[in-house]
Amino acid sequence: MDQPTMEDVAARAGVSRALVSLVMRGSPKVSEHRRAAVLRAADELGYSPHAMARSLASRTSHFLGVMVSDLHNAFWAEIVDGLDACARDQGFELVINTGGRRAGRERQALASLLSFRPAGIALLGPVVPATAIAVAGAQAPLVLVSRSCRLSTVDTVNDDGQIGSGLAVDHLVSLGHTDIVHIDGGGGSQAAPRRTGYLAAMRRHGLNPRVIRSEYTDTAGAKAIREILDDHIPTAIVAANDFNAIGAISALEEAGLRVPADVSVVGYDNTNLAALRHVSLTTVDQPRTEMGRLAAEALLQRVRGEREHPVRHLLRPSLIVRSTTAPPR
Partner DNA sequence: CTACTTTGTTGGAGCGCTCCAATCCTGATC
Partner DNA sequence: GATCAGGATTGGAGCGCTCCAACAAAGTAG
Contact between 33 and DNA per CB under 7 A: yes
Cα distances from 132 to residues 149, 172, 299, in angstroms, run 12, 41, 18
Q: Which does 34 bind (CB under 5 to 8 A by kind): DNA, a second copy, none?
A: DNA
Q: Is 112 in the site for DNA (CB under 7 A)?
A: no
* One character per residue 56-95, x = contact with a second copy (rule: CB under 8 A): x------x------xxxxx-xxx-xx--x--------xxx
Which of residues 36, 43, 44, 57 is near DNA by CB under 7 A?
Answer: 57
| 3 or 272: CB nearest DNA | 3
Q: Is 246 in the site for a second copy (CB under 8 A)?
A: yes
139 near a second copy, judged by CB under 8 A: yes
- Separation CA 296–CA 75 (nearest Å): 17
- H/E element, 96: strand 93-98
Q: Rank residues 51 and 200 by Cβ distance to DNA and give the closer one.
A: 51
- H or E element in which residue 248 lies: helix 242-254
Cβ proximity to a second copy: between 2 and 230 the closer is 2
**Start-to-end C-alpha separation, the chain:** 71
Q: Which class for 301: exposed (0-12), middle (13-18), buried (19 or more C-beta within 10 A)? A: middle
8-state DSSP, 69: S
CB of 43 to DNA, least distance (A): 14
Q: What angle do CA 311, 312, 316 make, to 5 degrees?
A: 135
Site for a second copy in 284-303 (CB under 8 A): none
Q: Which residues are at the interface with DNA (CB under 7 A)?
A: 2, 5-7, 15-19, 21-22, 24-25, 28-31, 33-34, 49-50, 53-54, 56-60
